[in-house]
Structure 1
Amino acid sequence: MAIGIIPAEAAFDGFKNDVTVIIACALIVSAAFARSGVIELAMRRVMPLLKTERSQVPVLTGAVTLLSMATKNVGALAIMMPVALQVARQTKSSPARLLMPMAFGAMAGGMVTLVGTAPNIIVAEVRQSIVGEPFAMFDYAPVGLALTLIALAFLAFGYRLLPRDRQGATSLSAALAANAYATEVRAPEGWAPGSMTVSALGALGDGEVKIMALIRSGKRRLNPRGNVVVKAGDALLIEGEQQALEGFVSRAQMNLIRDDRPVPMATASEEIAIVEAVIGRNSPLQGQSVRSSDLYGQHGINLLGVSRSGFQLTQHLRTAKLAPGDIILLQGAEQALPVALKALDLLPLAERQVQLGSVRRRFMPAVVLACAMTLVGLGLVPVAVAFFGAAVVIVALGGLKMREAYAALDGPLLVLIAALIPVSDAIQSTGGSDLIAGLLRHVFTGLPGIVAITGVMLASMAVTPFLNNAATVLIVAPIGATLAKQLGYNPDPFLMAVAVGAACDFLTPIGHQCNTLVMGPGGYKFSDYPRLGAPLSALVLVTGPSLILLFWPL
């Protein structure tokens, strides 16, 4: 814009472009899908069967690949990573052998549908500007499915190229998650299961949640036997790590005892938050119980759980005595929590995702997503309208709070894409793409079309680690389409080559968010990525162009 290539009035056109809207809405829908707990429910029966890496890698990689076909691949990986880490912990497997294949599988699965990855959305927009019609929801499926199956077959055996001895970085969140929280849940009236034995309920905790007591009609039974039947209205005192408790509460369809009290809010738009805090030495809570301290009456907050070394909850949570050093989970309005923390001399811990008791609307996000994809697939509604509507419906029905929807948006990515869209348009309008394509035409003239397709795919693969896959497509796609026209070819296979190349960054941890996401938990070094990624990239380069030409002839 400073040198006059992009007009000032067009500088912010990217923010109203369909691409930006689609990606933003896809992020929101993916976040709601992750919070629904439906994937955890589906994987619960499979996890006990995954005893060795030989079965874990193909099953977990296949699951994240399937999921990434319907949601953003980064979101799909984020959903499945806790499952993989839990499997690794239970079976003493190496997370390094599981996470990188899953990241690569997520990237491969993203190639199958329009919304699986940002490059597909951008390539569709570039095609519309050139041909007058974008790629449809499932136009990527023939090539994407074939390449995905090839990738899965390779990863099922290729994971052995990865080292076993990598140790994942222990973050503050992971360290805190090791704390066992004690909390109280109740089977509500009209409880869906009707009744269950203690042993059946314990199985829902995957061996990581301990049922310490059952309370019925004011009578307490410590360490109830497995054949004791739990009925609607019964309260359970349970203990486990935060993530395990979260899964148990969701699967058992129970309510946290303190979670059913409405939190007073200053405004209708104010959000409810959950924080972890440590009780200080001078806190008025020390020696007090929840009932005697009247947290709800005095401060409008609920106590959801208590964590203390050696502590066992054998009475109602509201009667448990608190002590300095206890880590407690508090729920309250966003404006009320800071005031309460200060008044009670509580030290808030580093912010992390605490979802205990907040898994909501299990099947609703999946149904809304399926409806949106069906409407787009049938050509009844434009992609931007369908996914914007899906995001609005999910938030309106309570599948995601407004604050969580905002948090799901990847601000840097959206700003980058919106800023580069005018640049991409300028490359075409100023003749930049014609100039670069003209230089490349001299290289590929007289050679088979498949060579040009391979060259474009290779260029897209090579640029992605240094730019970002979305930025790569915005720059390379117009050049690839112009090159196709100058060579007298159909631009569609060239655009497909750009999309595949940008989606397959298997060589570095920085080119794609999926690779970055697993680097810390997997304990990977930069040099570990080419171990598995180089042969997979070569496989895509060898098979990809032929598959593209099979379904998208020149």
Structure 2
Amino acid sequence: MEQLLVFLILGIALVLFAWEKIRYDLVAFIALGALVLFGLVPTEQAFVGFAHPAVITVAAVLIISRALQYSGLVDEIGRVVSKVSTNSLVQIIILSLIVAIASAFINNIGALAIIMPVAIQLARKSRTPPSSILMPIAFASILGGMMTLIGTPPNIIIATFRQDMSGEAFGMFDFAPVGTILTFIGLLFITLIGWRLLPKRQTAGSANRLFQIDNYITELKLTASSKLNGKRINQMNQIAHSEVLALGIIRHGVRLHAPSPFVELMENDILILEADTDSLKAFIDNTATVLVGGKEMHQQAAGSKDIHMMEAIVMGDSPIIGKTAVDIHLRSQYNINLLAIARREQQIWQRIGRISFKTGDVLLLQGRSSNLTGAINDLHCLPLAQRDLSMGKPRKVFLSLSIFMLAIIAVVTGLLPVQIAFSIAALLFILLNILPLREMYTSVDWPMIALLAAMIPVGEAFETSGAAQVLTDRILHIGTDGPVWMVLAMVMMVTIGLSNIINNAATVVLMAPIGIRISGQLQVSPDPFLMAIAVGASCAFLTPIGHQSNTLVMGPGGYKFSDYWRMGLPLTLLMILLGIPLILFFWPF
């Protein structure tokens, strides 16, 4: 009965993970809560995951990643990368290599976020479709995480499972022999062949911007007979029986940007509206307003030169995920307009004030530069344009690298366990004022931390209930007539399948006990199975939902769901075909 309950709860959790309507950390806590209620996880053990070394290490690595950005090191990298050749192949090679190397030592999402705006700017300058370059660097960021213990959370989790099993965790560079070779081979495929398999798709038909908004912006004048005279802006759509967005008002030759919903309209006001053809026609017919002819006044009115548009992508740790523009008071708090949203295979223009934001959404924002910059920083979004690169102080760069290298040396030499060494490093970054205290908290991906903390007791229940043993027996039964390496390949392929559907950290928590049990029953070393699971968890190349790096590039690259298979499937097969012999060479049974 316990096994059935565990399988049922995990099955529902897997469906919810893949469905994506409920955020993954909440899904993990739903599963944990259900297991606690049914007595499968003791109440006193429900929250021990928050003190788990893997959770502490992941949090520390995220803080260190942000500190290295603040130190000025990232600015120097961006400055060099922005000067690369206009040749597409050279750009892809250099950017992919830099992202992969950076991902080995800092969070791979952070590494991608550093390079992605530069990549888009280079693509636009050379009039190359962003679709040719963004997926390659996203895949490179995933590959790079294979190379070190801290490169990706699954490696950290795998190391703690080995610690619990044998008393000795994997070291900082134990992943390097297999991971570095696979990363190198993967980069060769991506840069020489893979990017050519991708669609050469100009997003929204524009080489300069993701969105073409000009055709949707119109100016209407309120005449003496207009039904809007004396009415508030928030009454417009109800009166007009139409859905339009008021971007601004020109009154006496002065532009009022992002006006309050309570501003009263007056005769001779010129409304700057965003609307499609049908909505605009209904608005004009029902309000007795008239189109303004001639040169567009909203570009000439006083104050218009300060108004700009900027594209920004919603990052995984953004506080606006699950909320709407109305919920966060985008206009009243930041004085900016949300003009459009690009999400996966579609661009959303209408009723966008009621659309809940998701990770990877590309927002088209309009406002004054200072307001845009402040809002994008506060909302944890990534501007999709080349950012102003500020030269970091050499002292800060050198000091930051010194702290980081000392932490790595402490782990490699066995002087300190990884969670202690990196926690001390994170603390030093704060005490030495390299990273502001506020940024220490905002740099942590709290949904990821919550997911790990909840899934650790879930994984323990999966093992103690006997459910893991049932799956172990099933895998061994299927591979009973084949060699041991075939069982290893099956474990790796199951891991790859799960990591393309659910979060790869959750995948590792579920698969590691199975790998350990299989090795025990086969009476072989568990290390090759743990390595196969680690590699499989970093092979989320088949879907945009398997890894945040894939999600982040979907909107800016204009990719469809099926585009990931074009390059992802051959890359995945390459990782399996080469990964198994490499694992067995460096980690024999």
TM class by shorter chain equals 0.5 to 0.7
1:353 is the counterpart of 2:388: no
Q: 2:195 aligns with which of 151, 159, 176?
A: 159
SS in 2 for 1:466: coil
Following the alignment from structure 1 to structure 2, what is the Cα–Cα distance between the partners of residues 508 and 386? 35
RMSD, aligned α-carbons? 3.4
Following the alignment from structure 1 to structure 2, what is the Cα–Cα distance between the partners of residues 521 and 366? 32
Answer whether contact 2:195 2:567 (CA < 8 A) is retained: yes
How many residues align? The count is 411
- Greater Cα shift, 82-91 or 384-393: 82-91
Query: Could you tell me which residue of structure 1 aligns to residue 556 of structure 2?
Result: 521
Following the alignment from structure 1 to structure 2, what is the Cα–Cα distance between the partners of residues 359 and 8? 51
Tell me the alpha carbon deviations over residues 273-304 of structure 1, each in whole angstroms, 9 at most, x when there is no partner. Answer: xxxxx99989x9x9xxxxxxxxxxxxxxxxxx
Following the alignment from structure 1 to structure 2, what is the Cα–Cα distance between the partners of residues 168 and 364? 44
Tell me the alpha carbon deviations over residues 375-411 of structure 1, each in whole angstroms, 9 at most, x when there is no partner. Answer: 1111111110111111111122222222222221112
For 1:137, the aligned partner's letter is M
Following the alignment from structure 2 to structure 1, what is the Cα–Cα distance between the partners of residues 389 and 179? 38
Q: How does 1:10-409 map to 2 (within 5 A)?
A: 10-45=45-80, 47-157=82-192, 158-167=194-203, 323=303, 326=306, 351-353=375-377, 361-409=396-444
For 1:160, the aligned partner's letter is R
Following the alignment from structure 1 to structure 2, what is the Cα–Cα distance between the partners of residues 357 and 309? 29
Following the alignment from structure 1 to structure 2, what is the Cα–Cα distance between the partners of residues 551 and 168? 48
Query: Could you tell me which residue of structure 1 aligns to residue 245 of structure 2?
Result: none
1:533 is the counterpart of 2:568: yes
SS in 2 for 1:48: coil
Answer whether contact 1:35 1:359 (CA < 8 A) is retained: no
Query: Could you tell me which residue of structure 2 aligns to residue 304 of structure 1?
Result: none
CA change 1:359–1:513 in 2 (3 A) is farther
Tell me the alpha carbon deviations over residues 95-126 of structure 1, each in whole angstroms, 9 at most, x when there is no partner. Answer: 11111111111111100000100110111111
Answer whether contact 1:69 1:110 (CA < 8 A) is retained: yes
Stretches of structure 2 lacking an aligned partner (at least 5 in a row): 1-35, 212-247, 257-297, 309-328, 337-366, 379-386
Tell me the alpha carbon deviations over residues 424-474 of structure 1, each in whole angstroms, 9 at most, x when there is no partner. Answer: 122222333223212222222342121111101000000112221000000
SS in 1 for 2:377: coil
Q: How does 1:433-472 map to 2 (within 5 A)?
A: 433-472=468-507
SS in 1 for 2:146: coil
Answer whether contact 1:437 1:486 (CA < 8 A) is retained: no
Answer whether contact 2:131 2:557 (CA < 8 A) is retained: yes
CA change 1:18–1:437 in 2 (3 A) is same
Following the alignment from structure 1 to structure 2, what is the Cα–Cα distance between the partners of residues 464 and 78? 21
Answer whether contact 2:81 2:95 (CA < 8 A) is retained: no
Answer whether contact 2:75 2:389 (CA < 8 A) is retained: no
Following the alignment from structure 1 to structure 2, what is the Cα–Cα distance between the partners of residues 63 and 536? 19
| Structure 1 residue 141: Cα displacement | 0.4
Answer whether contact 1:40 1:83 (CA < 8 A) is retained: no
CA change 1:324–1:100 in 2 (3 A) is closer
Following the alignment from structure 2 to structure 1, what is the Cα–Cα distance between the partners of residues 249 and 53? 49
SS in 1 for 2:501: helix
Tell me the alpha carbon deviations over residues 31-80 of structure 1, each in whole angstroms, 9 at most, x when there is no partner. Answer: 22233332342353454342211111111101100111111111111111
Answer whether contact 1:456 1:494 (CA < 8 A) is retained: yes
Following the alignment from structure 2 to structure 1, what is the Cα–Cα distance between the partners of residues 518 and 300? 69
| Structure 1 residue 353: Cα displacement | 2.4
Q: What is the aligned-residue identity percentage?
A: 42
Stretches of structure 1 lacking an aligned partner (at least 5 in a row): 176-277, 287-307, 312-321, 329-337
Following the alignment from structure 2 to structure 1, what is the Cα–Cα distance between the partners of residues 71 and 121? 19
- Greater Cα shift, 443-452 or 362-371: 362-371
Following the alignment from structure 2 to structure 1, what is the Cα–Cα distance between the partners of residues 435 and 251? 37
Answer whether contact 1:424 1:474 (CA < 8 A) is retained: yes
SS in 1 for 2:545: coil
Following the alignment from structure 2 to structure 1, what is the Cα–Cα distance between the partners of residues 135 and 405? 28
- Greater Cα shift, 502-511 or 370-379: 370-379
Following the alignment from structure 2 to structure 1, what is the Cα–Cα distance between the partners of residues 168 and 550? 32
For 1:515, the aligned partner's letter is N
- Greater Cα shift, 93-102 or 138-147: 93-102
Following the alignment from structure 2 to structure 1, what is the Cα–Cα distance between the partners of residues 210 and 399? 30
Following the alignment from structure 2 to structure 1, what is the Cα–Cα distance between the partners of residues 189 and 307? 45
Following the alignment from structure 1 to structure 2, what is the Cα–Cα distance between the partners of residues 440 and 154? 31
For 1:124, the aligned partner's letter is A
Answer whether contact 2:146 2:176 (CA < 8 A) is retained: yes
CA change 1:89–1:37 in 2 (3 A) is farther
SS in 2 for 1:75: helix
Query: Could you tell me which residue of structure 2 aligns to residue 251 of structure 1?
Result: none
Q: How does 1:474-553 map to 2 (within 5 A)?
A: 474-553=509-588
- Greater Cα shift, 539-548 or 401-410: 401-410
